[in-house]
Structure 1
Amino acid sequence: MTIILYYTSVSSSSEMRKKQQRIMDYLDSKKIPYTTVDISQSVEDKEEMRKKAGNPTALPPQLFNGDTYCGDFEMFENAVELETEETFFKL
């Protein structure tokens, strides 16, 4: 399975951009293959992200391993801090 990062390329929130970049930098540094889905380009992608996350108001970044929900940024940061990334990403 491949890690899928749902993100947005259009955001006025510098905090959201930093969170998204933090995840991408982490995945790149660990050489974990991933694909990105930009929800700002498609309403269908945003709806799919929210449905798969089980949260009708979920905001990016959201992480999945295939169709399996891994978590949001806070859950990602917690996994990194606790060194449980493999469990978080379901690798």
Structure 2
Amino acid sequence: MTNSRQKIKKKQQDVVRFLEANKIEFEEVDITMSEEQRQWMYKNVPPEKKPTQGNPLPPQIFNGDRYCGDYDSFFESKESNTVFSFLGLKPRLASKAEP
């Protein structure tokens, strides 16, 4: 049985790999190292997205102060090719080489 810490780490790595592969700038925040960051995350996850008991678990995804969603929402958007809109970013068009 996988413990919850390993599951959280795997989900975080999945998000980070996607962002890196798509060259999306991001800042990874480790809430275990900062009480201030942990409280900020808890406060900024919308009430309807919070669990009925306890606090929301990472990864929680934000674009600046805008809440995007949790891992399940991220995964669903990845499956349906809507990650850029999920993240509040403009979709990338195939880039043409600059002359």
Higher share of residues assigned strand = 1
- TM-score, L = length of structure 2: 0.76
Amino acid in structure 2 at the alignment position of 1:25: R
Question: Which residue in the other structure is 1:66 paired with?
Answer: 64
Q: Deviations over 1:42-85 (max 9, x none)?
A: 11111100111123711100100110000010000000001111
Q: How many angstroms does 1:28 deviate by?
A: 0.3
Q: Give the match for residue 81 of structure 1.
A: 79
Instruction: Show CA shifts across 1:5-58 (max 9, x none).
Output: xxxxxx962111100000000000000000111101111111100111123711
Counterpart secondary structure, 1:57: coil
Task: Tell me, in whole angstroms, the C-alpha distance in 1 between the residues paired with 2:67 and 2:4.
Answer: 26
What do you get for the CA RMSD once the two structures are aligned?
Answer: 1.6
| Equivalences, count | 81
Q: Which one has a bigger Cα radius of gyration?
A: 2
